[in-house]
Amino acid sequence: MGTITVRNLADDVKQKLRERAAARGVSMEEEARDILGKSVLSAGAAAAPEGETLYATIRSLVEPHGGFDIALPRRSQSAANRMTLSAKRILLIIGGGIAAYKSLDLIRRLRKRGASVRVVMTSAAQEFVTTLSAGALSADHVFTDLFDRNDEHDVGHIRLSRDADLLVVAPATADLMAKLANGHANDLASTVLLATDKKVLMAPAMNPRMWSHPATRRNRATMQKDGIAFVGPAKGEMAESNEAGEGRMAEPLEIVAAIEAMLDEKPKPLAGRRIIVTSGPTHEPIDPVRYIANRSSGKQGHAIAAALAKLGADVRLVSGPVNIADPAGVKTTHVETAVEMKDAVESLLPADAAVFVAAVADWRTANASGEKIKKVAGKGPPALQMVENPDILASIGHHAQRPGLVVGFAAETQDLIGNAEAKLRKKGADFIVANDVSHASGIGPSGVMGGDRNKVRIVSRTGVEEWPEMGKDEVAARLAALIAERLQATVV
């Protein structure tokens, strides 16, 4: 495998990469890898044009040099093509938001997995995508009007809502959420939602201020109490320029995973089990605008939380700041610092198991400044005094209310097994999932941290089990199965 050195890219490509990387707070390599990864995942689908152009540019620059060492997430053909939704009937309600274009991709992905998709579009949705596109992709009539006596396809809102196995609202706008939370039924979408006797999944998408508005929060809480499931939204850049925050619709594949989980009828070996998972990095403040962080994306921890939920566990995820959506079917608490993460984890005890995936900062500044530290000419940089953070895994591993099963992670660049075995004992864990983040592993530190693949060894008191390199979702599924197996040996 050759090498792409970002340094060798053309200046205009580098500049574009730099801007995008800075906006997301990631390295340029990571940004390039993400663009390449997304292009692979969305091959054949409508990817963001800017991303595609950039991808093409990077690719054309890279190929003559013989490839790249930025690990390209390999698409799991088998996972993408499995008929996981065979014969399932989805009623997709498309609300009026810029994210509506992603719902077209969602239709395609659902049908590829064997589902039939019927589409209802609000009138606002039709400002963003056409009924023609939705109809072509779903191979069905698209329903838009509550009363359409001229429509030969008019099946009536009751039948429309009952004929489906699941109702999915994507994008779920603030307006659609408000309507359902308050029982309004003044158009086809809201009427169908109110008339249904089936499960409902919402994928909200809106401006971050609208999402954080007390009214929207209230509506969400009401709907959650009513049993409506949510996937996302994620943090990130908005379509409007200079707008960023929480409000981006979950990606189509995340919505598909949430749908699969909701329609999964397989036996749930973890039903009735409460499992705590930590994920992502922590941010340790230096002053109100600066912090110490690391490259953890939260992908592995979130995937584990989702995989455990799929097996029926009541999963409580404690997540540091990440740019990915909360996993569906998981109750997520968001924290910033290691101390907040420890408090959140302790407040969730007792639990049957706990999985500590978060890349917790080992140190924090002794006393973060309340004011922005000014650069003073001639004074030099400030001396940051650091103190050690609490070790959450170790404190729970030795806690009076220690969960029956405690799993830790260890990212090492040397003596992987020796270090993992030492951690197992010192931190009171039952398993340590050890990943080699050295370059020798073939994935490399920037590949594991933030990438989509992982190669792990499971270190326990009884020995070491080596797993082949696989996607983080597969690692998550296997680990969830292992946890289920271990807990099944324990009486509930």
- Applying CB under 6 A, among 308, 328, 338, 484 the residue interacting with ligand C5P is 338
The catalytic position among 219, 294, 389, 435 is 294
Which is closer to ligand C5P, CB of 228 or CB of 276? Answer: 276
Q: Any idea of the CA torsion for 320, 321, 322, 326, to the nearest 10 degrees?
A: 70
Closest approach, Cβ 92 to ligand C5P, in A, equals: 38
Strand 331-334 and strand 314-319: the pairing is parallel
Is 314 known to sit in a ligand binding site? no
182 among known catalytic residues: no
DSSP β-ladder status, 456-460 and 431-436: antiparallel
What is the length of the chain? 492
Under the criterion CB under 6 A, does residue 278 sit at the interface with ligand C5P?
Answer: yes
Check: CB of residue 392 under 8 Å from CB of residue 341. Answer: yes
Place of tokens 């663009």: 35
* Alpha carbons 318 and 339: distance in angstroms, whole number: 12
Stretch that binds ligand C5P, among 46-54, 69-77, 174-182, 403-411 (CB under 6 A): 403-411
CA–CA dist 439, 167 (Å, integer)? 45
Question: Which residue is it, tokens 């997301």?
Answer: 24
Per CB under 6 A, 410 contacts ligand C5P: yes
Contact segment (CB under 6 A) with ligand C5P among 44-52, 96-104, 351-359, 473-481 equals: 351-359
Out of 58, 110, 249, 358, point to the residue binding ligand C5P (CB under 6 A): 358
Return the number of the residue (94 or 392) whose C-beta is nearest ligand C5P: 392
474's enclosing H/E stretch is helix 472-488
Which two tokens mark 181? 């939370």
Beta bridge partners of 432: 408, 459
Residue 423: CB minimum distance to ligand C5P, A: 6
Is 326 an interacting residue with respect to ligand C5P (CB under 6 A)? no
The reply on whether position 356 binds ligand C5P by CB under 6 A is: yes
Handedness of CA 296, 311, 204, 92 (dihedral sign): positive
409 in contact with ligand C5P (CB under 6 A): yes
Nearest approach, Cβ of residue 317 and ligand C5P (Å) = 13
Helices (H), 196-337: 208-212, 214-225, 252-263, 299-310
| Maximal C-alpha separation, the chain | 79
Regarding 431 and contact with ligand C5P (CB under 6 A), the answer is: no
Find the part of the chain contacting ligand C5P (CB under 6 A) among 69-77, 145-153, 167-175, 354-362. 354-362
Positions marked active-site: 294
Interface residues with ligand C5P (CB under 6 A) are: 278, 338, 356-358, 360, 389, 391-393, 408-410, 423
Annotated binding site for CTP: 362, 372, 390-393, 409, 423, 427
